[in-house]
Chains A and B, each alone.
Chain A
């Protein structure tokens, strides 16, 4: 990425988890930066630390050592309230298992982040309908998750992550529960949104289908950055 502003800076990040009597080191000194509008992925075998790193970037967890700055916020020093504020305003999450609210409609699921942001009714309506249009689910606004296919569920989750147009969206194994056709469908959707909304998208994955779409791949191995490759497209 040439000359774009950096929105994530990671310097010497170490993450240790208490394990029984001792400790387990999941991340062993990560140094990385991400610029605005990247479409990048953390790639690596199971247990290599992808989720751990994504959680710290998403302010769901804190570094043990080192320094992580996300959109001008130093993750390790944020209070719980400030971390929640950062997530609420600037970060969208997409999960492997969708995690939609089962008793709420598609519309209500997508609306939820806007309720937290206290947008007014007509504003919410417009933004939710836009988001549903991006993922092609306008006609399902009144359905509830149990009535949807897995692919549709993940598209709802994407709409929910994107509806507030955050600068950063984190997606942990978003295609793990999807077949090939659906995987390609949602990846194309995310690619389009990345291009049109300039949202930075950061994946954690070991799915080759996802890797095929990435413009940058950071290979993690045993808690370290093994390789950092940028693919030139077109």
Chain B
């Protein structure tokens, strides 16, 4: 019986070809979209993690309250001890102390008079230690436009746009005018080692990157840091792990009433990242659902037409004593075969498209002008394990639902009525 059905399915092109094509297309789109959005959202998350939130971030409770204001007067103290504690408790993760600060860049002329001035968004991180991974993490070598990376204390990096606006060349001296940890105004000189272009509006407007020891000296923050960012092993954000880590860390300080006690927050618990992460977790379901509905509608109609064409066959099978339920079930089996065939082909094609997107990417720089969230300017797909099976959900669900819906019409009819239509 199964052999009989499969023969029918394979030989009757009109029964198999259109549905397989529809499923293939739908599944291909689902898989490609999945990898594409995964890549886009993943890259956006990683970017925000790398430059500001970390996968997790440790701050003082007070700092965390108003973290967006960069309140360095509330910074963590005795950071080297805390850093050791973190490395001990979470050895698989990477930890990096950072200071984020605001300030004014003052460019002096030969006489030492102010030639140009501009506000800067400062980021201080460990650029010089042997064991520091920050330069690679931020992709500084790739972002470098002119000059070189800092090799010794007192050297800074600034964004290329900033350097052009203030007419600064690598090798020039600049003065940072900022606020120390205890609230007094401080001035400190740096030599510009190089200029950077990240391709992200928010970073390219006026960024100043310093070594963290220089920043500590300039801002009077000995062994202090506004934040310690932590990165999960594997390099990709995983919300559950990040939250779990934060909870485990915070549990140890639960009974400590000090507002300067350290507090760890996962990426999704910072800024506006929560909804973004949440959306990232459910979007695959939504996309699959959309494709399930759209494909089921098409297949339902195809199934209705096919069903009409098959009245003859169905009527004869009923007349020969096959039960209606059995006929209906065999139609569902057929749709499962079609769903699997279409899903396999569609997944293969979809993965190929996703692979192309992963290798070559799409440049969307123009769309991202003035965006305040950090978005990557080249969108690349990312093929993750779900890409291999996600297409089967709409692929199978749509064919089965489509067939089930169209089959009901036939199923409900009186047997003799089928014959009327058959004889006509």
Contact B416 A115 (CB under 8 A): no
B7 at the interface (CB under 8 A from A): yes
Contacting residues, chain A, for B4 (C-beta < 8 A): 104, 108, 111-112, 115
A88 at the interface (CB under 8 A from B): yes
A55 at the interface (CB under 8 A from B): yes
Interface residues of A in 172-193 (CB under 8 A from B): 172
Contacting residues, chain B, for A55 (C-beta < 8 A): 416, 419
Contact A95 B323 (CB under 8 A): no
Contact B312 A84 (CB under 8 A): no
Question: How near does chain B come to A1, taking the closest CB pair, in angstroms?
Answer: 26
Nearest opposing residue in chain B for A113, CB measure:
B320
Binary interface encoding of chain B residues 315-328 relative to chain A, with 1 for a CB under 8 A from any of its CBs, else 0: 11111111110000
Interface residues of B in 24-48 (CB under 8 A from A): none
Binary interface encoding of chain B residues 300-341 relative to chain A, with 1 for a CB under 8 A from any of its CBs, else 0: 000000000000110111111111100000000000000000
Nearest opposing residue in chain B for A88, CB measure:
B321
B316's partner among A51, A88, A99 (CB-CB below 8 A) is A99
Nearest opposing residue in chain A for B2, CB measure:
A115
B1 at the interface (CB under 8 A from A): yes
Known: A60-B419, A95-B423, A115-B1. A103 touches B322 (CB 8 A): no
Interface residues of B in 1-21 (CB under 8 A from A): 1, 4, 7-8, 11-12
Known: A108-B4, A108-B7, A115-B4. A86 touches B323 (CB 8 A): no
Contact B320 A88 (CB under 8 A): yes
A93 at the interface (CB under 8 A from B): yes
Binary interface encoding of chain B residues 344-370 relative to chain A, with 1 for a CB under 8 A from any of its CBs, else 0: 000000000000000000000000000
Contact A58 B321 (CB under 8 A): no
Contacting residues, chain A, for B414 (C-beta < 8 A): 61
Contacting residues, chain A, for B12 (C-beta < 8 A): 102-103
Known: A108-B4, A115-B1. A101 touches B416 (CB 8 A): no
Binary interface encoding of chain A residues 114-133 relative to chain B, with 1 for a CB under 8 A from any of its CBs, else 0: 01100000000000000000
Instruction: Tell me the bound Cα distance from A58 to B419 in angstroms.
Output: 12
Contact B8 A84 (CB under 8 A): no
Contacting residues, chain B, for A91 (C-beta < 8 A): 321
Instruction: Tell me the bound Cα distance from A180 to B122 in angstroms.
Output: 100
B415 at the interface (CB under 8 A from A): yes
Known: A61-B414, A99-B315, A101-B313. A85 touches B423 (CB 8 A): no
Contacting residues, chain B, for A86 (C-beta < 8 A): 321
Known: A61-B415, A88-B320, A89-B321. A103 touches B423 (CB 8 A): no
Known: A101-B313, A104-B8, A115-B1. A84 touches B423 (CB 8 A): no
Interface residues of A in 112-159 (CB under 8 A from B): 112-113, 115-116
A93's partner among B312, B320, B322, B323 (CB-CB below 8 A) is B320
Question: How near does chain B come to A60, taking the closest CB pair, in angstroms?
Answer: 5
Contact B321 A85 (CB under 8 A): yes
Contacting residues, chain B, for A96 (C-beta < 8 A): 423
Question: How near does chain B come to A164, taking the closest CB pair, in angstroms?
Answer: 9
Instruction: Tell me the bound Cα distance from A91 to B11 in angstroms.
Output: 29
Q: How many residues of B contact A (CB 8 A)?
A: 24
Contacting residues, chain B, for A113 (C-beta < 8 A): 320-321
Nearest opposing residue in chain A for B9, CB measure:
A103
Instruction: Tell me the bound Cα distance from A214 to B11 in angstroms.
Output: 40
Question: How near does chain B come to A50, taking the closest CB pair, in angstroms?
Answer: 12
B422 at the interface (CB under 8 A from A): yes
Nearest opposing residue in chain A for B415, CB measure:
A60
A21 at the interface (CB under 8 A from B): no
Contact A116 B320 (CB under 8 A): yes
Nearest opposing residue in chain A for B323, CB measure:
A84
Contacting residues, chain A, for B422 (C-beta < 8 A): 95, 97, 99
A81 at the interface (CB under 8 A from B): yes
Contact B322 A84 (CB under 8 A): yes
Question: How near does chain A come to B323, taking the closest CB pair, in angstroms?
Answer: 5
Question: How near does chain A come to B380, taking the closest CB pair, in angstroms?
Answer: 46
Known: A60-B416, A101-B316. A80 touches B323 (CB 8 A): yes
Contacting residues, chain B, for A198 (C-beta < 8 A): none
Contacting residues, chain A, for B7 (C-beta < 8 A): 103-104, 108
Instruction: Tell me the bound Cα distance from A61 to B318 in angstroms.
Output: 12
Nearest opposing residue in chain A for B311, CB measure:
A99
Contact A97 B423 (CB under 8 A): yes
Contacting residues, chain A, for B11 (C-beta < 8 A): 103-104
Instruction: Tell me the bound Cα distance from A115 to B324 in angstroms.
Output: 16
Known: A104-B4, A112-B4. A87 touches B416 (CB 8 A): no
Nearest opposing residue in chain B for A108, CB measure:
B4
Contact A112 B320 (CB under 8 A): yes
B322's partner among A88, A101, A111 (CB-CB below 8 A) is A88
Contacting residues, chain B, for A104 (C-beta < 8 A): 4, 7-8, 11
Nearest opposing residue in chain B for A87, CB measure:
B321
A60's partner among B1, B313, B319, B322 (CB-CB below 8 A) is B319
Contacting residues, chain A, for B317 (C-beta < 8 A): 112
Question: How near does chain A come to B40, taking the closest CB pair, in angstroms?
Answer: 46
Nearest opposing residue in chain A for B11, CB measure:
A103
Which A residues are closer than 8 A to B by beta carbons? Answer: 51, 55, 58, 60-61, 80-81, 84-89, 91, 93, 95-97, 99-104, 108, 111-113, 115-116, 160, 172
Which B residues are closer than 8 A to A by beta carbons? Answer: 1, 4, 7-8, 11-12, 312-313, 315-324, 414-416, 419, 422-423
Known contacts A99-B315, A111-B4; 6 additional CB pairs below 8 A are A60-B319, A60-B419, A84-B318, A87-B320, A91-B321, A103-B8
Top 9 closest pairs, chain A to chain B, by CB: A88-B321, A87-B321, A61-B416, A103-B11, A103-B12, A84-B323, A99-B316, A93-B319, A60-B416
